[in-house]
């Protein structure tokens, strides 16, 4: 369903990722693991079209995706970037509605769905996004991504700076939308426990390349591998 093929790219003349290939099948949850600085975020930006490809491409349903991030979004590619990037001077409701309407969906319906998925947002619905806590902003960023009704959802470090109770809520929502809506998920993370709680398979990155593809059971059982590649 979703593939990154021979991805090579970076910033300016600096190459960060080299010949990275991975796939996420329909309805699958896959983790992208690795220490800080190995290229996970760069790969996510490559996947969404936010950095140009030096080499390689992205496929959605077996067809090469357009280069435009907006056109990839219209094909069902949702993205929650590292650092959240909510619109701080717009309310929670406006953040969700504008994402939906920009992709041709009902803002009102998207807001209603978000409030059902994330009850913590209800009392904050009329508040400016910039005034939310870091965890609340992360939840809002996820709600915005879901507002475009994605078929594949890319998450970049969703637990960063988020308190444990909210991490548990995010994990629960991700498992539910994967199960009930069939949304495939690729999540880039350093939090191994979070990834093991939602993903069935993982790619481990090292120095801008895929070092290993493994399943959850092997990764969970192999403490030496965890220490070597993830430092946990």
Number of domains in the chain: 1
d(CA 185, CA 206): 21
In tens digits, what is the pLDDT along the chain, a chain of 232 residues? Answer: 899 999 999 998 899 999 999 999 999 999 999 988 999 999 999 999 999 999 999 999 999 999 999 999 999 999 999 877 899 999 999 999 999 999 999 999 999 999 999 999 999 999 999 999 988 999 999 999 999 999 999 999 999 888 888 899 899 999 999 999 999 999 999 888 999 999 999 999 999 999 999 998 888 888 887 887 677 5
Please, are residues 9 and 17 in contact by the beta-carbon 8 Å criterion?
yes
d(CA 65, CA 46): 12
Please, are residues 132 and 88 in contact by the beta-carbon 8 Å criterion?
no
In angstroms, what CA-CA distances link 196 with 9, 79, 159, 168?
28, 20, 13, 12
The model's pTM is 0.92
Please give the structure tokens belonging to residue 66.
């357009």
Question: Domain span at residue 169?
Answer: 2-230
The CA radius of gyration of the chain, in Å to the nearest whole number, is 17
Looking up residue 164, the CATH number of its domain turns out to be: 3.40.50.300
In angstroms, what CA-CA distances link 139 with 47, 145, 168, 183, 195?
22, 10, 11, 17, 17
């Amino acid at each position: 369903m979703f593939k990154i093929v021979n991805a090579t790219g970076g910033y300016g003349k600096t190459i960060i990722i080299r010949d990275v290939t991975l796939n996420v099948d329909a309805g699958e949850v896959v983790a992208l693991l690795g220490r800080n600085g190995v290229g996970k975020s760069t790969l996510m930006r490559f996947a969404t079209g936010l950095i140009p490809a030096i080499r390689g491409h992205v496929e959605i349903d077996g067809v090469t995706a357009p280069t435009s991030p907006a056109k990839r979004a219209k094909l069902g590619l949702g993205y929650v970037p590292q650092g959240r990037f909510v619109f701080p001077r717009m309310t929670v409701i406006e953040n969700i509605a504008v994402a939906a309407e920009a992709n041709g969906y009902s803002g009102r319906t998207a807001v209603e769905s978000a409030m059902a998925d994330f009850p913590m947002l209800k009392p904050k619905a009329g508040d400016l996004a910039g005034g939310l806590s870091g965890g609340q902003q992360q939840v809002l960023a996820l709600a915005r991504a879901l507002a475009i009704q994605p078929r594949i959802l890319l998450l970049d470090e969703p637990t960063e700076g988020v308190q444990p109770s909210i991490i548990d809520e995010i994990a629960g929502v991700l498992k539910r939308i994967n199960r009930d809506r069939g949304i495939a998920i690729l999540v880039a993370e350093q939090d191994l426990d979070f990834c093991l709680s939602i993903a069935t398979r993982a790619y481990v990155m090292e120095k801008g390349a895929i070092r290993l593809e493994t399943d959850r059971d092997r990764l969970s059982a192999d403490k030496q591998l965890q220490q070597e590649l993830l430092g946990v």
